[in-house]
Structure 1
């Protein structure tokens, strides 16, 4: 498999899950602004939407969109337990959570990465939007569960971690959401997460 990624972007969720599963894969860092891959390819020929992730499997099939890519990866190794079985209530809950992260939480951070300047009023409004979505995560974790679907780590936790971790990079505080902060730290400590962050240049290799 080959994963086209951009350091620190949402594609890191797929990178983390590939590490969790121990599936052999290659990485190709992608400049989405220029539309070029590190290997010199035209990224728009791989992913016409122009953004990551783009996963190419061993048969040459190309998959995009995090919810789809993450579920595909989980289904390659069902015994790893990173996604409930198809047709179960648990799978519907996974899809529900993935769609929330994708369409609500992820989207709420969009203005920070638009390339445009934000005045104070605009920033306050955007931060409030992030806070509303973070509050949903906080409510989900309020029963003491370790992960979004319960006590078992799943692919949605990799995705939610990547997005919530952006808060530190853009200067948004999660102090009002202590369970969410603890959740981010818990996922950050997983070896597969550390390995991905080191490979993408986001942290030094721990001693």
Structure 2
């Protein structure tokens, strides 16, 4: 039974890990107070929970990211002769500085490209991708008669989906025959 919460987490968030979007949730006051109380319970007294139990509690509620006061997450990926550096920054007291950034630097460390995404940027892209997915599945309640604006939006989404499929093709190659994505979710075509 010790692994039940962890298995539940893996089932809920999939095999890709708990931080499924490059941004940390900002909690309401009540939820934050509950998380703060959990931390007090865990560390009063400081050694009250043994090593394994401390880790179990943190993993079961994703406390490494959920309800934290600040977070800085850096990941790197070697691409050709360059390096992609992705960074998530979160500060509970300063929401204007929540961000996800992607930088590409050459081997000398010179920045060749840098993109910064705010919380609003991330939320908007998630909304758009969700709509694109609904369109692909036919769940958007669309009719055959589209306004000019709706037709233009649909065409833009279809083009974005086409480019995304091309870029992501190496990840979907083996899944195409099975009809699933790399995380077990059903694949849908936007065409």
Q: Structure 2-normalised TM-score?
A: 0.34
Which structure carries more helix by proportion?
1
Which structure carries more strand by proportion?
2
Q: Structure 1-normalised TM-score?
A: 0.32
Q: Which has the larger radius of gyration?
A: 2
